[in-house]
Amino acid sequence: MAIICFDIGGSFIKGAVARAADDISPLPPRPTPLEDFEAFVATLIGVIAATGIRPQRIALSITGVIDPETGVATVANIPCIHGRTLAADLEAVLGVDVLIANDADCFALAEAGLGAGRGHAIVLGAILGSGVGGGLVVDGRLVNENGGFAGEWGHGPALPFFAGDPPVAIPAYECACGQRRCVNTVGGARGMERLHLEIHRTELSSKEIVTRWLAGDVDAARTIEIYVDLIASPLALAVNITGASIVPVGGGLSNSAPLISRIDETVRQRTLRRFSRPLVVPSGLTVEPGLTGAALLGLGTQA
C-alpha cells in the first residue's frame, strides 16, 4: 500500500510517500497558493505526479478544522480552501479518497504511534506554540478522524479571574475563536508575552522570558509562575475528562525542558489520578510530526 500525505501550512506544502509507519519518504516542499483553489489543487497534482505512483489514498494535515457534520473546512490562514467541503472537492478532482485532519490531531496521532505516547491507550497531544492546540487518540485511533474539536483544551472560557501567589487579576482577553478567557489567549508563546507585559509593563519575547527565568530573574520567574498556574488546571481537567495517561507537548515552548517539567509537576498536583511518573512530557518526534501524523492517518496505522 502506498499513500501520499501532505502537511499544508500557510507558507509551504510538504509532501511524502508513505508505505508503512517506518517507511515515510519526504518530498521537496512547494509554496502554498493562498488565494487560488485551482493553483492549490495543481500543486497537489504536481507533487503526486512527481512521485510516479498512483496513491491508494491521500491524507492531509491542515491548520484548521473540518466540521464533522457538514465536511466544511475552517482554515483561516489559507483563504482558497476556507469554507469548502474540502475532502469532497479534492476527491472530485484527484479521483482518490482524501482524509483530512487538524495539525494538532496529526501531532497527537504521530506521538501515539511513534513518539512519547507509544504504548499508551489514551494520548492527549498538547501544542504550546504561538497558541494552544490539542488532539486526542484512543486505542491508536484519532477521535477526530471524521473532523471535530475533541482534544481542543485551549478553547472555552476556562481561565480564572486571578492567578499566582500572591494573586494578580487576569484580564478577559478575547480569543480568535470569538470567546473570552480561553487558555489559548495566555497559553502559547504570544500569551506568555502578553502576560509578562501585563504584569511588568515590559515587552520581552517568550524565549527571553524563559531564558531569564532559568537565569534567576525575579520578574520572569513571576511570569512563569502565573503562566503555569493558569494553564495547569485546564490541562489537568482535560486529563481527568479524557483519561489520558500521557500528554506529549509540541510547539515552540516545548523546547524548554525545564518549563515542561514545571508544567508537569503542577498538572500532576491537580489531576484526579495521581501519577508517580511524568505525565506532561516533551514530544518524542521532533521532525515533521504533522506530516508523520498525516501518513499514519492515511495508512490507517494502529498506534
In terms of Cα–Cα distance, which of 129, 125, 131 is closest to 185?
131
In this prediction, residues 185-201 reach a mean pLDDT of 96
**DSSP-assigned letters across all residues of 68-100:** TTT--EE-TT-TTTTTS-HHHHHHHHH-SEEEE
> Which pLDDT score, from 0 to 100, does residue 302 have?
40
19, amino acid identity = R
> Which pLDDT score, from 0 to 100, does residue 301 have?
54
What domains can be seen in the chain, in order of their start residue?
3-106+287-299 (3.30.420.40), 119-282 (3.30.420.40)
All three cell numbers of 1, joined, read 500500500
Task: With cut-offs at 50, 70 and 90, classify the pLDDT of residue 137.
Answer: very high
For residues 296 and 173, give the distance between their C-alpha atoms in angstroms, rounded to a whole number. Answer: 36
> Which pLDDT score, from 0 to 100, does residue 303 have?
41
Write down the pTM of the prediction.
Answer: 0.93
For residues 172 and 87, give the distance between their C-alpha atoms in angstroms, rounded to a whole number. Answer: 37
Residue-wise pLDDT for 240-259, tens only, equals: 999 999 999 999 999 999 99
| For residue 110, pLDDT beyond 80 | yes
In this prediction, residues 51-70 reach a mean pLDDT of 92
In this prediction, residues 31-60 reach a mean pLDDT of 94
- Tell the residue number behind the cell numbers 525545564, with chain if given: 258
| For residue 1, pLDDT beyond 80 | no
Lowest-pLDDT range of 67-76, 209-218, 227-236: 67-76
Q: Which helix (H) or strand (E) holds 139?
A: none
